[in-house]
Amino acid sequence: MLRWLIGGGREPQGLAEKSSVQTIGEEQIQNPYTELLVLKGHQDIVRFLVQVDDCRFASAGDDGVIFLWNVQTGEKLFELHGHTHKITAIAPFSSSDASEENKHLILTASADRTVIVWDCTSGTQVQKVSCFHSTVKCLTVLQRLDVWLSGGNDVCVWNRKLDLLCKTSHLTDAGISALVELPKNCVAAAVGKELIIFRLTASNDGSEGWNIVEVKRLVDHQDNILSLVSVNVFFLLLDVTFVTGSHVGELIVWDALDWTKQASECNFWDSSVHPDVQPEIKLSQSPNETSVQHLTSDEECVFAAVGKGIYVYNLQMKRVIACQRTAHDSSVLHIEKLPNRQVISCSEDGSVRIWELREKQQLTAEPASTGFFNMWGFGRASKQANQAAKKMQENTLMYFLELVGDLIGHSSAVQMFLYFGELGLATCSADHLIILWKDGERESRLRSLTLFQKLAQNGKLHLLVAQIYVFKKTQNQSQKKQSSNRTFACAVTILHQG
Amino acid sequence: MISAPDVVAFTREEQLDDALYSEPPLPEEYSVPLFPFSSHGANPWAKVASSKFTRDFILISEFSEQVGPQPLLTIPDDAKVSGTFDLNYFSLRIMSVDYQASFVGHPPGSAYPKLNFVEDSKVVLGDSKEGAFAYVHHLTLYDLEARGFVRPFCMAYISADEHKIMQQFQELSAEFSKASECLKTGNRKAFANELEKKLKDLDYTRTVLHNETEIQKKANDKGYYTTQAIEKANELASVEKSIIEHQDLLKQIRSYPYRKLKESDFHPYEPECALEQADAGSEQDPAASDLAEAGEMQLYNHMPSYTPKLIKAKSAKCFDKKLKTLEELCDVYFFTQTLDQLYQIERTFRGDMCYLLTEQISRALLKQQRVTNFLFEDVSLLDEKQPENQYRGCQGLGHDDIDRKCLEESSAPKVVISLGSYKSSVECVPIKMEQEMKDSQESRMSESVTFEQQDNLDYLDADLKGSISSGESIEVLGTEKSASGLTKSESQASLPVSPSPQAGRSKVGSRRTVSEDSIEVLSTCPSEALIPEDFKASYPSAINEEPYADDEDGGLRFAPKPAPAGAEQREDAANQEALVQVDSACCIGKESPGFLEPLAELGQKPCDEDGVVRIPPQPYREAEQGLHGAFGGFPSHEGVSGGLLPYELDSRYLTGSREVSKSSLDECSDSTSYISSAASTCSDRTPSPAHPGCRAGDRHRKRAGQGALRFIRQYPFAHPAIYSLLSGRTLVVLGEEEAVVRKLVTALSIFVPNGAVYAKPVKHWVTSPLHLLDFQKWKLIGLQRTGSPGGVNVLHALSRYSRYVSILDTDSKTLRCPLYKGTVVSRLADHRTQIKRGSTYYMHVQSILTQLCSKAFLFAFCHHLHLPISEREPEESVVNRRMNFLKLQLGLANEDIKIVQYLAELLKLQYIQEPGQGGSPLLRFDYVPSYLYKI
């Protein structure tokens, strides 16, 4: 394409074909997003999107302004000013209490060392906390306890009224990179290479106060922990886990109850190495290529954005079941699992890609699919893995990630996205824009619906016209004779008078 | 856009092959009428060659009390225009038929002179010797120094084409009324000013006289009055009387019925409206008027103060005094406004009749398509308020008349007498003494035309033709006493009376108000309202009406069936009939995409059709009514066909099967129109624009059309490129030379549908890298290609967003865009087309685009194509129905579907958009592969 444009005349050769990144042509049957809406407002990189309720979301970024949008219409609802520096964390804080008129609040933390609580219904600032000694890097709401935690150099616990309930001692200068809620009133905080478990306990004097105590430090990671995700409870197994990923590509699965290491995956980026081999071998990789940027999970699998690739790690099998080593041209920044077995990833290269996790019979399908689907790496790895006899059965069930669509719109790194189900997908980017991707068919149908509703509304007038007509028609039938007689009579009278 | 004007002249019967007739006929509203005089074997322009002037012009004359009738000025102000035409003689003629009952002076029983606010009279005159026909608008201006305070003037639109005058009578009348109103408003102000000055003078004189008398009284203590003193006293008395008189006059002029101005018909000049009304307000309230007056005086006259002067007792009412000029009589501002208006009238009505008609028809038709016309039309041209109002008024009236006509015709008695017609015919005073007998006979005749419309029509025709060619060269062809407002107010509107049969005939054709045709109406196409419900199905001519019938009966209709009219409404039904009609017309005007709209039209439709058939060139009024039925029919069609009725969608509107023949006609007319225009009396051949802004638009169209023609001939891959534009995929024209790119963009812009905003989404020249936002905003972009590093960025951006754009490279003559396999574009842009002229091609394009628009309209507004009929119906069946509709009913193939879908989407967006809200533009796209086309 580009070569055709520059050189002219020659048939376009897919430039991307040469790179190992899987590409999809312009024909994307399964890609539902055929309509887009560009939301302008931000003046700087947009880093965060957070869902407020079914049809609203907030966006925030380096310009320190928070915007509230309607995902259906793309309408800008509110523009919240209050922070003087870039936003570092944002969290929704909706009250479960029905009595509080269903208030939707959001918390935002900024580099100006403040946290502001906003009311999404009225678009006003509810309260502002500015007694922090450091920038708050993460915010977590513990719905169950109706408190929220801020993580900077220390962890603070706040209640809904923004009273400081308790705080930890100074932990680190680098700040807490991630906080996640664990069962039994526990919280895991990622501090550098360490993972610290805190427990919230009600204070002894019976007042509303809480105490926060450090329970355990986990030091299994070799490098800074970048991502932390709590995996949904396996309802059947009554098993609770959480997963951490580090800068050098270690992925560790922890038991959320006793905080022991359940499994670890340190080198799944390297196809030539068996998963169980020790992590020393990974040195050949540059750290950037292997850092676990983002983790997400459903009940069975953890989806990891590692470098440019996407990996699917099955918790039960304790192994990677599918991967796409170069899913994007550059680092994958955010990854999300959709209910319909689809995975969406966004990357620094400005594209958003939609993947589908598919099963396939390894033996029959592999020859055809290698190369074409770029699956050879994983296929080989699993072939080598068949030494373990107990895994043989599982190996027959292979998964692969197939690219079903890509969304190209942003001209710079796509920082994050928010999936709204059938309402569409919101993506935010370093090009200051937010794009709403929508299903064109659905939108068209909705517009038709609106159209006919509007017609029905205006129908009063038409009804009038119709009535007039019917009225006239009946009149015509019955009074025709009469009226013409009358005209005649009139005329005769006038003639006589004249 | 509907019809090309240069086709009209070439429609003699031998040109129409039999093959044409075998095809489904075009609806009458679209068809090119046969030239009515073809039987005479003459070309349409031959008969007017006898006239002594080269083109139409406007003449203003005055009946001067000093020198008699004299021409004052002509518009355009060019000696060449009138040529050898004797303006003096013609002024005499037209001033001699002033019907204004302008009576000013001392009426019996009144002590003071009384001003009459007379209506202007509007007369059509023909001077067959001179070959001149004129619409004459008489008006009276007030002048304090004139005899009886009045100065009769007239404005005349003089043309060699009698038909133009007759058929454009309504329009001319409306336009001239505006001019006249403006002139008179200015005149009233000037007159009031003059009166005030005079009053001040008189006041001053009185004081002086009073003082003198006092002095004399004092000086003279002899006890008797000197003659001098008596004289002074008399003088004083006369001055006082004159003061009272003048005060009374002032009061009268102030009490001018301004309410008339408030009617929507009269708002010729917006800026003044406020003033005038403020004026009116202050003047209606005499008590409060003083202050306002002072302000007003300053406002209008900018006279700081007026120093009164002494008035001689015997003011010389004589011929030595120079009468005021027209400019002095009116305020300068108003005078120039009037001139502007007159110039615009001249511009509007100049040119050949067929241009006027096609222009008017297409404009009227476009206005009908309120929902769709924004797509490809320059809506700004249609948005004027004035014609709108006038048009609506006319429509209302037309309906009124027609409706009444239907009523009357349907009734058994043959005698139809309306009060109005009676009155107006009485007022038709014979002009010339020696012709009185004849004329009065004529007017009698005309009465009888209205009276015994049906019986002796032919007889009349034959009989009265003689009178036209009789020795007397001037005939009054028609007159209309009342302004349109008046017609409304009377329950029985005055039918225009036409003493001459020719005129009568034309009138019939043009307004279909005169009932001569009722025989034909009854015999050929009975009004549906007359057919009892039971017979309807079996009635042959009811076939066409089937959809309507279905619509009435079927349960598929969108709105619930209206309840039967209440009993009390029946009471004054006959009285309200007219009003209701006007109302409904207004409703329709406002709410065009109505489902039930056609219902209101049903009553009139049959008559309309008949009228359309009968008289080929029609002014837009009735065409529009016919069309109203036709277009109004769409919703009902669709309301039904949503449920997939068996009948075919009216192919007449939707198929373009006549395209081939049309284009060949086009070609012929292209070459012949030069000849014909040379024969034409009017000097400029261009379609006369009804709007001054049209000129530029015309040129633009011509250029764009020419460019587009060149494009489709030059590039074999024009079709996919045009398809890209029509389906909303942005087309980027890439090139190094700005001029080339700009030219191509201009040419291609005629294929770009407008979005929700009124501006064309076309960007002629961009040098920076394109962004997603650009594709959202622009659908056609000219892009610079440079070798510089910046240029590479531009190309990078382009290749990144390649899925949203089609790229036309003008340098290497390549195109990269999706495949197109449909048929619409090939009709739109046939590279073998015989069309040679840009404007003709433009019209060709417009006509096909209009077809597309109507399809899109149907598609968008069909309820069941988008929503399930019952709640349980699955979505797939709706989708199936939709695709079936597109493919089978609308006859669309492959990619054409996408065009219509895109247009329908635009229609939807436009319709659901809230008025004040801009609505964020959205970008729709498809994931379809692109291909590279090379020459």
DSSP track, A214-259: EEEEE---SS-EEEEEEEEEETTTTEEEEEEEETTS-EEEEETTT-
Question: How many other C-beta atoms can be found within 10 angstroms of the C-beta atom of residue A259?
Answer: 17
pLDDT category of residue A462 using cuts at 50, 70 and 90 = low
Reference B480, options B122, B930, B199; nearest CA is B122
Shortest Cα distance, chain A CAs vs residue B732, angstroms: 12
pLDDT higher at A362 or B405: A362
Q: Which residues of chain A lie closer than 8 angstroms to B603, CB-CB?
A: 469, 472-473, 476
Q: Are strands B780-784 and B762-766 parallel, antiparallel or unpaired?
A: parallel
Question: How many other C-beta atoms can be found within 10 angstroms of the C-beta atom of residue B188?
Answer: 24
Element (H, E) at B579: helix B573-590
Burial of A496 by CB count in 10 Å (0-12 exposed, 13-18 middle, 19+ buried)? exposed
Task: Map tokens 């099963």 to a residue.
Answer: A359
Q: Tell whether the model's pLDDT for residue B879 goes beyond 80.
A: yes
Please answer yes or no on whether A479 and B573 come within 8 Å at the CB atom.
yes
Q: Which residues of chain B lie closer than 8 angstroms to A433, CB-CB?
A: 772-773
pLDDT, mean of residues A437-452: 88
Give the span between the Cα atoms of A225 and A249, in whole angstroms: 9
Instruction: Inform me whether the C-beta atom of residue A280 falls under 8 Å from chain B C-beta atoms.
Output: no
Instruction: Inform me whether the C-beta atom of residue A209 falls under 8 Å from chain B C-beta atoms.
Output: no
Please answer yes or no on whether A491 and B866 come within 8 Å at the CB atom.
no
Q: Which residues of chain B lie closer than 8 angstroms to A445, CB-CB?
A: 866
Tell me the sheet residues that pair with A254: A242, A261
Q: Tell whether the model's pLDDT for residue A67 goes beyond 90.
A: yes
The segment with the largest mean pLDDT, out of B279-293, B310-324, B439-453, B710-724, is: B710-724
Reference B885, options B547, B644, B637; nearest CA is B644
Question: How many other C-beta atoms can be found within 10 angstroms of the C-beta atom of residue A473?
Answer: 17
Q: Which residues of chain A lie closer than 8 angstroms to B800, CB-CB?
A: 408, 411
Q: Out of A26, A411, A450, whose CB is closest to B927?
A: A26
Angle at the Cα of A217 (from A213 to A219), degrees rounded to 5? 165
Q: Tell whether the model's pLDDT for residue A470 goes beyond 80.
A: no
Q: Out of A435, A465, A471, whose CB is closest to B596?
A: A465
Q: Which residue of A has its CA nearest to B734?
A: A5
Cβ neighbours of residue B582 closer than 8 Å, sequence gap 6 or more: B396, B397, B399, B400, B488
In angstroms, the Cα distances linking B714 to A424, B701, B831 are 43, 19, 8
Write out residues 4-43 of A within 8 Å (CB-CB) of B. Answer: 4-6, 8-9, 11-12, 15, 25-29, 31, 34-40
C-alpha torsion angle, residues A457, A462, A464, A465 (rounded to 10): 170
Check residue B834 and give its pLDDT: 83
Share of chain B above pLDDT 70, in %: 50
Check residue B915 and give its pLDDT: 61
pLDDT category of residue B396 using cuts at 50, 70 and 90 = very low
Check residue B640 and give its pLDDT: 35
Check residue A208 and give its pLDDT: 64
Give the span between the Cα atoms of A347 and A427, in whole angstroms: 11
Give the span between the Cα atoms of B629 and B250, in whole angstroms: 52
Tokens for B196? 């005030």
Share of chain A above pLDDT 90, in %: 12
Check residue A206 and give its pLDDT: 58
Instruction: Tell me which amino acid residue B71 is.
Output: P
Q: Are strands A261-265 and A225-234 parallel, antiparallel or unpaired?
A: unpaired
Instruction: Say which range, B326-330, B638-642, B848-852, has the weakest mean pLDDT.
Output: B638-642
Q: Tell whether the model's pLDDT for residue A239 goes beyond 60.
A: yes
Check residue B815 and give its pLDDT: 92
Q: Tell whether the model's pLDDT for residue B174 goes beyond 50.
A: yes
In tens, the pLDDT along A315-338 reads 877 888 888 888 888 889 999 988
Beta strands in A54-193 (DSSP E): 56-61, 66-70, 76-80, 87-94, 104-110, 115-119, 124-129, 138-142, 147-151, 155-159, 164-167, 178-182, 186-191
In angstroms, the Cα distances linking B447 to A238, B496, B511 are 103, 10, 17
Q: Tell whether the model's pLDDT for residue B932 goes beyond 70.
A: yes
Q: Mean pLDDT of all residues in chain B?
A: 63
Q: Tell whether the model's pLDDT for residue A193 goes beyond 80.
A: yes
In angstroms, the Cα distances linking B878 to A329, B612, B644, B797, B854 are 41, 40, 12, 39, 21
- Residue-wise DSSP of B49-101: TT-SSSS-EEEEEEEETTTEEEEEEEES--HHHHTT--HHHHHHHHHTT----
Please answer yes or no on whether A1 and B802 come within 8 Å at the CB atom.
yes
Q: Which residues of chain B lie closer than 8 angstroms to A477, CB-CB?
A: 529
Check residue B24 and give its pLDDT: 59
Burial of B869 by CB count in 10 Å (0-12 exposed, 13-18 middle, 19+ buried)? middle
Check residue A119 and give its pLDDT: 87
pLDDT category of residue B438 using cuts at 50, 70 and 90 = very low
Tokens for B855? 């399809």
Check residue B428 and give its pLDDT: 35
pLDDT category of residue A385 using cuts at 50, 70 and 90 = very low
Torsion A218-A219-A221-A224 (CA) sign:
positive
Share of chain B above pLDDT 90, in %: 4
pLDDT category of residue B306 using cuts at 50, 70 and 90 = low
Q: Tell whether the model's pLDDT for residue B786 goes beyond 90.
A: no
Question: How many other C-beta atoms can be found within 10 angstroms of the C-beta atom of residue B212?
Answer: 15
Please answer yes or no on whether B558 and A459 come within 8 Å at the CB atom.
yes
In tens, the pLDDT along A405-422 reads 889 889 889 999 999 888
In A15-96, alpha helices (H) = 15-18
Check residue A477 and give its pLDDT: 42
In tens, the pLDDT along B713-752 reads 888 889 999 999 999 899 999 998 889 999 999 999 889 8
Task: Map tokens 């024009």 to a residue.
Answer: B718
Tokens for B205? 């004189």
Tokens for B349? 């009505």
Write out residues 464-483 of A within 8 Å (CB-CB) of B. Answer: 464-483
What 3 state SS string does B840-865 have?
A: HHHHHHHHHHHHHHHHHHHHHHCHHH
- Helix, coil or strand: residue A348: coil
Shortest Cα distance, chain A CAs vs residue B132, angstroms: 37
Check residue B320 and give its pLDDT: 57
Cβ neighbours of residue B70 closer than 8 Å, sequence gap 6 or more: B61, B62, B64, B88, B91
Q: Which residues of chain A lie closer than 8 angstroms to B596, CB-CB?
A: 462-463, 465-466, 469
Check residue B253 and give its pLDDT: 82
Shortest Cα distance, chain A CAs vs residue B542, angstroms: 17
Q: Which residues of chain B lie closer than 8 angstroms to A462, CB-CB?
A: 559, 587, 591, 594-597
Torsion A385-A387-A392-A396 (CA) sign:
positive
In B642-771, alpha helices (H) = 651-654, 659-679, 694-714, 718-726, 738-748
Give the span between the Cα atoms of B640 and B878, in whole angstroms: 15
Instruction: Say which range, A344-353, B76-85, B231-240, has the weakest mean pLDDT.
Output: B76-85
Check residue B636 and give its pLDDT: 35
Task: Map tokens 């009412």 to a residue.
Answer: B317
Check residue B659 and give its pLDDT: 39
Share of chain A above pLDDT 70, in %: 72
Give the span between the Cα atoms of A11 and B716, in whole angstroms: 18
Q: Out of A75, A435, A474, whose CB is closest to B565?
A: A474
Q: Tell whether the model's pLDDT for residue B620 goes beyond 90.
A: no
CA atoms within 13 A on the CB side of B932: 17
pLDDT, mean of residues B564-588: 39
Please answer yes or no on whether B797 and A11 come within 8 Å at the CB atom.
no
Check residue B758 and give its pLDDT: 60
Check residue B919 and give its pLDDT: 57
Preceding amide of A279 cis, omega within 30: no
Please answer yes or no on whether A456 and B559 come within 8 Å at the CB atom.
yes
Q: Tell whether the model's pLDDT for residue A103 goes beyond 90.
A: no
**Phi, psi (rounded to 5 degrees) for B461:** -55, -55
Shortest Cα distance, chain B CAs vs residue A30, angstroms: 10
In tens, the pLDDT along B97-125 reads 766 654 544 555 555 666 666 777 888 88
Instruction: Say which range, A325-334, B508-517, B658-667, B910-919, has the weakest mean pLDDT.
Output: B508-517
Question: How many other C-beta atoms can be found within 10 angstroms of the C-beta atom of residue B793?
Answer: 13
Tokens for B318? 């004589």
Contact status, residue B472 vs residue B432, Cβ threshold 8 Å: yes
Q: Out of B411, B560, B772, whose CB is closest to A484?
A: B411
Whether the complex's predicted ipTM is more than 0.90 is answered with no
Which one of A451, A461, A477 makes the best mutation probe of the B interface by having the most chain B beta carbons within 10 Å? A451
Burial of A426 by CB count in 10 Å (0-12 exposed, 13-18 middle, 19+ buried)? buried
Q: Mean pLDDT of all residues in chain A?
A: 74
Q: Tell whether the model's pLDDT for residue B474 goes beyond 50.
A: no
